[in-house]
Structure 1
Amino acid sequence: MERLLVAVCLLSEIFTLSSCLRQYHFVNQSLNWTEAQIYCRQNYRDLATIEDPEELKQLINGVSSAGVGSDVWIGLYNQIHWRWSDGFTGKGADYRNWNTTDSDPDFISANQFCVNIGDGGEWWDRSCGNNFTSICYRGTQLDPELVLVSKSLTWSGAQKHCRENFVDLVSVRNDMENRKIQSLVPQSKRSWIGLFRDPDLFWSDGSSFGFGFWDGGKNVIGSMTVICGVTSVQRSGKWKFLSCDQRLPFVCYSPVTVKVLVKLKLQTDESVDLNDAALKASLQQRFQEELKARGVNAVTLRWSQQSDGRVFQKEKKKKGM
């Protein structure tokens, strides 16, 4: 059994490397993101997933060789769901007063998930790690007493401070409340309010989002609830978000099938016939389960038969042993 486990680990290392390979396919047909997703799923595996710099380089080389410099859809998308820190969902929860002059929320560098208010009453989305003053409240959601916290904190720091010393960061339900909050913001400053959203970055094929290569510009959200990802040769492969309704060429991917022959050396009791059909099936299932437990999926295991139809051969003893 010890040798069996060693063999399983060997299989795991091999298939971890080979099972994640992707082949990219550029499609020079202008579709919206959803249509492109459907096309890729019908003809390949899905819209392109990119999980490391090497995959990005491979994808961009393919698009470049096709002579296309425009934006192309990839499988990335971002769901937009604004929420209030204190959980308020009642009447007025969808009130917004964005600074439309600067096209906010503009999601610069795909890194702005928290909201602050300026001394003119307009709202901006900003990186949650930036430091600003904040507006807390005490009392109740429906009858709040506003409090300015003059110490500059990150959004999560401000939330923690408000919850420990008051109730929470303030929620804003209408123009009247917005003007009251505006009056507390220091001149030429901005203050955190309770509006925020989770990153919610996803790949179309369900892969976990980790690697990112963002363009430093704006990703104008407006009133959209989903925005979709593009890349471009002209931006050296950097990513940004556009309205999913735009019509663009796109990149699909298909998994690369890799065949790996692994020789196993197992030690068993003399009475055990490893070529017994039931035992071979049991061993194969065990290997499959062990690989899956190690996060290695989409792998098909088959026994390789020798010329005599047997899978396992008894090892001959060396002379002098």
Structure 2
Amino acid sequence: MAMKATVTVFLFLSLFGLNNSLYRKHYYVNENKQWSDAQQYCRTNHDDLSTVSNEELQPLSDNAQATGDYFLFGLRREANDQRWRWTGGEEATDVMWDQGEPYRYDGKEKCVAVKKSASKVHDKFCTSTYPFYCMEVFELIVVQQENTWEEALEYCRQNYIDLAGLSSDVIMKEAEDKSTPALTEDVWIGLRFIAGHWFWVNGEGLGYKVWSADGELQCPAMDQRCGVYNVKKKVWKTADCEKRLNFLCVKTAG
């Protein structure tokens, strides 16, 4: 069975000429596969082999679960096409090739892999086997109905994926854009205080923080143990979980 580890690296897909309200999440699969088999695995279990910007190469290479010297991602060229393309069909015009790459070996090396030690791209035979990264693509949606935090959580999980976890600058920017139509100044997000700590209900870590001037309350009052995103000030605040507010859900793109 393939072993996979999530890497939280979110960047706007506008880097590739796609809708700039989308973001993606990468999953490292620690099993050696040929490029086509890796793509089939990703399309079955996620969305596709990962589209990776130059800015993402280093953090993906630094992933502690990534083993071996190389990993595959979603870039290749067809037999009669000299252009390198992502799995979605977009031409890759800015690839961080390593020195002497692409080597191509008489044009036969049509797939690519990242060399971990250099965080740069090498062309490879498509029959070569390496671990790989899959991706899933997401977006936020504001729900213009006034619910308690628990009701908002239930609604998001029944109709989309979850209450939004704003765990990066990119997702915070999307929250700013997507919350504009909100009818309440604060909107619920998936931030909750239980058993002595704040956490995201989707399981993401809380390393990234954008609290209001009041800061992260270490022992909030019983009526201040849910988190909101303040549309006007663009920060997180604590709130009474029984308040009725609009809320942000996360959903799959498309």
Q: TM-score, normalised by structure 2?
A: 0.46
Which structure has the bigger radius of gyration? 1
Q: Which has the higher strand share?
A: 2
More helix by share: 1
- Higher relative contact order (CA closer than 8 Å, sequence separation 6+): 1
